[in-house]
Structure 1
Amino acid sequence: MVTELYKTFDAQFELDLIDEIAEVGKFVEVSAGEILMDIGNYIKSMPLLLSGAIKVLREDEEGDELLLYYLEQGETCSVTMACCMGHTKSEIRAIAETDSMIVMVPVQKMEEWMAKYKGWRNYVFESYHNRLNELLNTVDSIAFKNLDQRLVDYLKKKVEVNNDNRIRNTHQEIAYDLHTSRVVVSRLLKKLEKMKKLALHRNYIRVLDL
């Protein structure tokens, strides 16, 4: 995992910073579907993603979820970062989309590195910028796009982060992510199948031409 750390951040971080991350960070392997952090938990360390993909979700008062964005190699969650720095409870749920490797950085080191390393400062600011843009895209998608287009965008992103055109989520799981009903998702998937955009199989969806 240390090798993955150097490969992932060699272009972004100073060598001394990578050495410090390797020394104080906790390396963790997680399996697809595993919850990394949950709503209401206090966060004492921040994840840096070395490989794989993580999906970040928000929950409403009824317990229904909405997919906010994915984290991919070399990225971190700025919402988690804000909770760490502010010593507040998490307002998001992070679940491994695929088998992933992560290094967890202690919160006290995050503050120290802000003053010590330009590479870390740039990384933090860029992470906030990227996540804000993704959150705005999510808001725009809900406000301005119909569910047909949101579903297509969702399926495209799933193919991208998993590097596989077979989507193994159930219709209900897709409905949870899009904050809608299983019946609506099933109807729209059937519509896309008739348009030859995808093929519905017993245990997976094969994306053909979205």
Structure 2
Amino acid sequence: MNTFIENYNYLFEEELLDEILQVGVFKEVSKDDPILGIGEHVKFMPLIISGAIKVLREDEEGEELLLYFLEVGDTCAMTLTCCMGQKKSEIIAVAETNSSIMMIPVKFMSLWMAKYKSWQNFILQSYNNRLVELLEAIDTIAFLKMDERIYKYLKDKAMVNHNDLVTVTHQQIANDLHTSRVVVSRLLKSLENQHVIELQRNAIKVLKL
């Protein structure tokens, strides 16, 4: 709870922090734990206290594509949209690292929008941040070559993990970027030859962030 206050007291006034602590549900998740799946009813809005969450989209064949990462002080615009519209989830959320989350019951979202200016600003800024990240994801797919996408992916993971040694398999990269493991392995070797990464067993060191 102290960590939550430390990470959010610059965003919310004391009265709102008190309400969040009263109604919020504290949850800890381990790396790779599922948090939300396609078609699930969204009953809570997450506030990230520590760690990082990755948000993915799934196609009709069950193939996944990474959209963006959520870090401390973030919430998910997709979740907000589902909460406000009482819709089922259209995204997948998975713990990128061991994480702690404050889960806010949906019914308080609209109540606090009218009651607290800081909450309203937070929600609107969150929408804006996630929109920018979605546009970046679209640009990455549309305009970057696959080796550039892989390199950006590794740099993003290194930043949210606060570690230049990224623990990930070639198959996991392929799954997140919606490509094949063979392509990933070939392009990773090319990136290593360019001296921007160093391949290790089930890990990749990012040499230039």
TM-score when scaled to structure 2? 0.98
Matches within 5 A, 1:55-204: 55-204=54-203
Over the aligned positions, Cα root-mean-square deviation in angstroms equals: 0.8
Shift of 1:205: 1.2
Query: Is the 8 Å Cα contact of residues 5 and 18 (structure 1) preserved in structure 2?
Result: no
Return 5+ residue gaps in structure 1 as ranges. Answer: none
Return 5+ residue gaps in structure 2 as ranges. Answer: none
Which residue of structure 2 aligns with residue 43 of structure 1? 42
Given the alignment of the two structures, is residue 29 of structure 1 paired with residue 28 of structure 2, yes or no? yes
Shift of 1:203: 2.3
Does 192-201 or 58-67 show the bigger shift? 192-201
Shift of 1:209: 2.6
Shift of 1:5: 1.5
- State, as a whole percentage, how many aligned pairs show the same letter: 56
TM-score when scaled to structure 1? 0.97
- Which amino acid letter does the alignment assign opposite residue 71 of structure 1? L
Misfit runs of 4+, over 2 Å: none
- Which amino acid letter does the alignment assign opposite residue 87 of structure 2? T
Given the alignment of the two structures, is residue 17 of structure 1 paired with residue 16 of structure 2, yes or no? yes
Which residue of structure 2 aligns with residue 208 of structure 1? 207
How many corresponding residue pairs?
209
Other structure's SS at 1:62 match: coil
Give the Cα separation in 1 of the matches to 2:112 and 2:98: 29
Give the Cα separation in 1 of the matches to 2:202 and 2:174: 16
Does 198-207 or 43-52 show the bigger shift? 198-207
Give the Cα separation in 1 of the matches to 2:169 and 2:8: 35
Give the Cα separation in 2 of the matches to 1:143 and 1:182: 20
